[in-house]
Amino acid sequence: MKDIMIAPFVCDMRNITEVMYRLGWDERNGGNISYLLDENVVGEYLDLSAVIRTIPLGFDATEISGKIFIVTGTGKYFRNVYADPENNLGIVRIGADGKTAELLWGYKDGGKFTSEFPAHLMSHMSRLSVDPENRVVMHCHPTYTLAMNYVHELDEKKFTHTLWEMCTECIVVFPDGVGVLPWMLCGTNSIGEATAEKMKEFRLVVWGMHGIYGAGKTMDETFGLIETVEKAAQIYMLTAHLPRINTIRDDQMVELAEFFGVKYRRDFLNL
């Protein structure tokens, strides 16, 4: 077996959690990431028949039974993942019953996956039904995106339109827009179900007064989606109290989207 510590998926998790913590998006034990892995690749690093223990999921994930994920642990701090991945991360396989997860590696101190793992799995199922290549779900608390929640209407069309106006790249990076949910109790199946429903339309979902969920094909793509929203929100928060002299017009957004060949939410524009 190859050394699990140099597995690309472990390295990805170590590196991205370090960056997100340094950016201030994942204070304390805030935020969580799950990454759907290729069974054949994981098999190069782990004995897939060696189950350490089983952990109840708290909902029925039969639809993705047998799928393997690397996921951050509950109560764990992103700042500790890089130095100690085996305690702060775990690799789990969804059991045949769909109601348990089989621990294959990690959570060495007896811990388990994030309390929002059921919400992640629901989003994974939604995104896989739209795009089978979507493998990453990422949740964090970006500062300016969160601040924007308090001064901007939590309407997905208006919220998206404002973000699109802030940076030329925005409509190209997230042409499908940003879904928005009102404040809901986190760590529950209810918010997971609501997020999963939004994920059928959007790769980005704002949790009102809480943070954001992003989904993508790779760690870089998913991080990049959230990073671009956060930059746009930062520009908005730096300028919202000032007279607006210039802006990116809706006809210019159309020109951008069509030039780059992206399928955009035309109904989110004021044409």
Write the pLDDT tens digit of every residue in 137-174: 999 999 999 999 999 999 999 999 999 999 999 999 99
Please give the tally of structural domains in the chain: 2
- Please give the Cα distance from 262 to 105 (Å, whole number): 39
CB 181 within 8 A of CB 191: yes
What is the value of pTM for the model shown? 0.95
Whether residue 105 sits in one domain with residue 2: yes
Choosing from 102, 116, 156, 165, the catalytic residue is 116
**Domain end (from 80, 115, 150):** 115
Establish whether 116 is a catalytic residue: yes
Distance CA 264, CA 257 (A): 7
- The residue from 81, 115, 149 where one domain ends is 115
Same domain, yes or no, for 127 and 142? yes
Q: Does residue 164 sit in the same domain as residue 267?
A: yes
Of 78, 140, 73, nearest to 113 (Cα)? 73
Q: What is the pLDDT of residue 143?
A: 98
Residues 136 and 41 occupy one common structural domain: no
According to the model, what pLDDT value does residue 1 have? Answer: 84
Residue 170: predicted pLDDT: 98
Mean pLDDT in residue range 217-235: 98
Rounded CA-CA distance 113/54 in Å is 11
Give the per-residue pLDDT at 219.
97
Q: How far apart are CA 175 and CA 258, in angstroms?
A: 11
Residue-level pLDDT at 65: 96
> Does residue 141 sit in the same domain as residue 250?
yes
- For the cut 90, the answer to whether the pLDDT of residue 91 exceeds it is yes
Share of the chain above pLDDT 90, in %: 97
Residue 164 sits in a domain whose CATH number is 3.40.225.10
> Domain range spanning residue 87?
1-115
